[in-house]
A and B are shown apart, each in its own frame.
Chain A
C-alpha cells in the first residue's frame, strides 16, 4: 500500500513538468535523461519488426515507464489514462526497433464517427540538447514517431463509411463531369487535394514521422522522409506496437541513432481513443536515455589500426635496412677529425 504518497508524488511530478515547461519557455535547455535508461538488446540477424508478439521480444526485460497526465496546455488530461507503458528495444547492425506495450481493454481503431477517436502511441526523440519535453522549442526540436491504430487498420484497405454504415446509399457518389478528372467517385476530397497525410488514399506505414519545435508546430515529414516502419497487434486487452527505423538514414529531420554516439534522449506518450484522447489529451512519460550498445569490434573492423601498424612496421624495416648499409650520419663527428684538420 503506497497510496498515501501518491498525491505528493503527483504534485511533485506536476511541479517538475511545470518547471520544465517554464524553463523551456525561457529558452533554458532542459533536455537531460535522468533516471531510467533504455538499453536496446543487440541481436544478430533481422529484428522482429513485423511481429509484436515474437518470442524474441519476450527475451528482453521491459522497462516500465511511468506515465502522467498532460497538465501544461489545453486541451489537457490531468490523470493518465494508463499508469505506465512497458518499453523494449532491439538493435542489430543497421536497424533499431522499439516495442511499446500497454494494457488497454478497448481496441479503438476507427475515426469515422464525429466523436470517435483512435488509440495512438508515440516516441519523441530530442534533436540537439536545447529542446523541451513539451513538443520541443525553437532552440531544439523533436523528431516524433507517431503510431495510430486507425492508420494500422487503414494500411490494408482504408476504412470507409460503408464499414460503419452498411446501408449507405450509393447515390451519394457525385457524377464526374466530362473531362474533369478532379472529382473521383467520392466527389471532392478537400483534405486530400491539400496533400494532408490524414486524408491520403493510401498509407505506407502505420507510423508517421514528424517534427515539432513547440506547441502547435507538429509537422509531418515529406513522403520521402517517412521512414519509420510500424507493426501492431491488440491481444487479450494489451496493445503491442513496434516502431522501427534504420539507424543511420541520412535524413536531417531525423534523430541520429549511432551505436558509438551519445545516448539518444526520448520520451513516450499514449492515447486512449475510447476516452476521447487526441492531441494534448494524452498520457506522457518523462525523458529517458536510449543508450545503444557499442558495436562489437572484430578484426576487420579495426582495419585503420591494422593499416597504421603495417605502415609503421614497413617504415621501421626500411630504416633498419638502409641504416645497416650506411655509416651513421649526423651521429658522430663531421667529416674529418675532431680537430678540424683535413684528411689525407
Chain B
C-alpha cells in the first residue's frame, strides 16, 4: 500500500492511493471559544442543501455539545473505543512523541495507528479503514445530550469526567460546543473505502464529492468516515455529503462577483466564530508558505487552530481554536498535543494574531490575503504573569482578485451619546 506524508502526524502513513494533491485546499478555522450553539449554521446549510425528503436526519453541518452530545450519537467515543481496542490488540501505545523543529511536523510525531493502519493490520484486510456504521436512530437526535449535564468538576486523570452527576445550581459542569462539517480531508477515508471509486477530491480546491451517478449505496463511506459526515439517503438509495457549497466556492454565485465566496454555514455565523479560506498547496502536499493567507497564518504560523482528532489519520482540513476552559486531557485527545500551546497563544494573542482574529466573518468573500496597518497602543495588562499590550491595529482582507473586501480595527468603535438622551433611541 502506498506511503503518504501526513503533516499533522509528523510522519508518513499508509493509504490506499498514492499522493496527489490539489492546487488549493478548502480549509476553515472555527473559534470554539465564541460559539453559542445558535445553530444558524446548521439551518443555513439545511435550507440550502438538505431540505428534501429522505434528508430529514441529514445535517451536513451540525453543532454538538461536548462531551456528551454527538451527531451521530457518540460518534467520536465509539471510534476512539475501536481504535483503542486495535491498539491493545497490537500492543501499540497511541502516543505522540516529541515536538520537533520541523515546520512540517508541528505537533510532533504520532506513534499510534491511524484508522487506515489499524485496518491494514488485520490480515487479510477486510476493510480500507477502521470504522462502524451507525444505525438510523443514532442520526435522529442530533444533539440529544446537549442539556444533560452529568459532568462535575474536572477530575484529573479521567478526562475530567465524573460519574456523580451534576450538582446544580452550582454549575460545576463543563461543556463546549463543537461545530462540525465535512473536513474535506487530504486523505479521505470515505474516498479510500468506496469500492466504486465514486468519491473524488477536486484538483482545483480539494473539495471531496460523491458522484451521484456512480454511487450504488453500499455505505462503505458512511462506515469509514471517522467524522461520520458521509450520509445515506433512503429516498435516492445513495449517499450524500457536504459539497462545500462549491457553486459559491467557484465564484458562480450571483453575489460573488466572480471570486470565491464562503460557504453558507460560514457566511451565516452570527457569532463570528468561522473563517473559511482556500490554502495554496505545493505539489508535494505541503501547505505553501503563505503567512499572509489568514488560514495558513492561524494554523501553521501561530498554530492557534488545531485539527479535529488528527490521530484518525485523514489529515482533516477543519481547524479549531480549542476552548480555554475544558479539561486539557479531553482537549488533547480531541485536538492532539498542540492544545496547550494553542490555548496559551489564544489567551495572550500576539499583535498580529489579535488583528487576524477580527477577520472572522468580516466578508462573504473568501479572504486570500491580509495586511495589517499598525495603530496606537490602547490597553495594557498582565496575562499569566506576563505583561500584555493591545494595539488598535487595522486588518485589511483581500479577495482572490486582490480587491479589498474587509477593513476592521482591533478596537471596536464606541460612540457615547450626549447626556440629554442617554436612553433614547
Chain A residues at the B interface, C-beta cutoff of 8 Å: 71, 73-76, 78, 111-116, 150, 160-161, 168, 172-174, 183, 185-196, 198-199, 215-216, 218, 276, 278-280
Contacts and interface: CB of A to CB of B under 8 A. Distances in A.
Given A71-B124, A199-B238, A279-B195, A111 B139 contact: no
Given A191-B238, A279-B218, A74 B212 contact: no
A75 B237 contact: no
A198 B237 contact: yes
A74 B215 CA distance: 17
Contact of A115 (B135, B214, B215): B135
A114 B219 CA distance: 8
- Chain A's interface: helix, strand, loop or mixed, by majority? loop
B54 interface: yes
B341 interface: no
B330 to A, nearest CB: 28
Interface residues of B, number: 41
Interface stretch (B73-81, B228-236, B383-391): B228-236
A52 B231 CA distance: 36
Given A76-B124, A114-B135, A199 B218 contact: no
Max chain B Cβ within 10 angstroms of own Cβ: one of A71, A172, A199, A218: A199
B51 A115 contact: no
B255 interface: no
Interface stretch (B125-133, B275-283, B370-378): B125-133
Given A160-B235, A196-B215, A189 B220 contact: no
B121 interface: no
A74 B127 contact: yes
A190 B212 contact: yes
Given A75-B195, A78-B126, A187-B55, 18 more contacts: A74-B125, A75-B126, A76-B125, A76-B127, A78-B124, A115-B219, A172-B52, A174-B51, A188-B52, A189-B54, A190-B212, A190-B236, A190-B238, A196-B212, A198-B215, A198-B236, A199-B237, A216-B195
B52 A187 contact: yes
Contacts of B238: 190-191, 196, 198-199
Interface of B: 51-56, 119, 124-128, 133-136, 139, 193, 195-197, 211-220, 222, 231-238, 240
A280 B126 CA distance: 10
A198 B217 contact: yes
Contact of A216 (B55, B196, B231): B196
Nearest to B126: A76
B217 A111 contact: yes
Contacts of A116: 136
Contact of B234 (A111, A276, A280): A111
Contacts of A193: 212
B234 A112 contact: yes
A94 to B, nearest CB: 32
A115 B133 contact: yes
Contacts of A183: 52
- Chain B's interface: helix, strand, loop or mixed, by majority? loop
B53 A186 contact: yes
Contact of A113 (B56, B127, B220, B234): B234
Given A186-B53, A216-B196, A278 B218 contact: yes
Contacts of A190: 212, 233, 236, 238, 240
Contacts of A191: 212-213, 215, 233, 236-238
Contact of A114 (B53, B134, B193): B134
Given A75-B126, A75-B195, A186-B54, A114 B222 contact: yes
Nearest to B210: A190
A185 B53 CA distance: 8
Given A111-B234, A160-B235, A191-B212, A172 B53 contact: yes
Contact of B213 (A185, A194, A218): A194
A216 B197 contact: yes
Max chain A Cβ within 10 angstroms of own Cβ: one of B52, B128, B134, B215: B52
Contact of B195 (A113, A115, A280): A280
A113 B53 contact: no
Given A161-B54, A189-B236, A198-B237, A74 B128 contact: yes
Contacts of A196: 212-215, 236, 238
A-B complex: 5 closest residue pairs judged by Cβ atoms: A187-B52, A191-B236, A194-B212, A186-B53, A199-B236
B212 A161 contact: no
Contacts of B217: 111, 198, 278
A173 B53 contact: yes
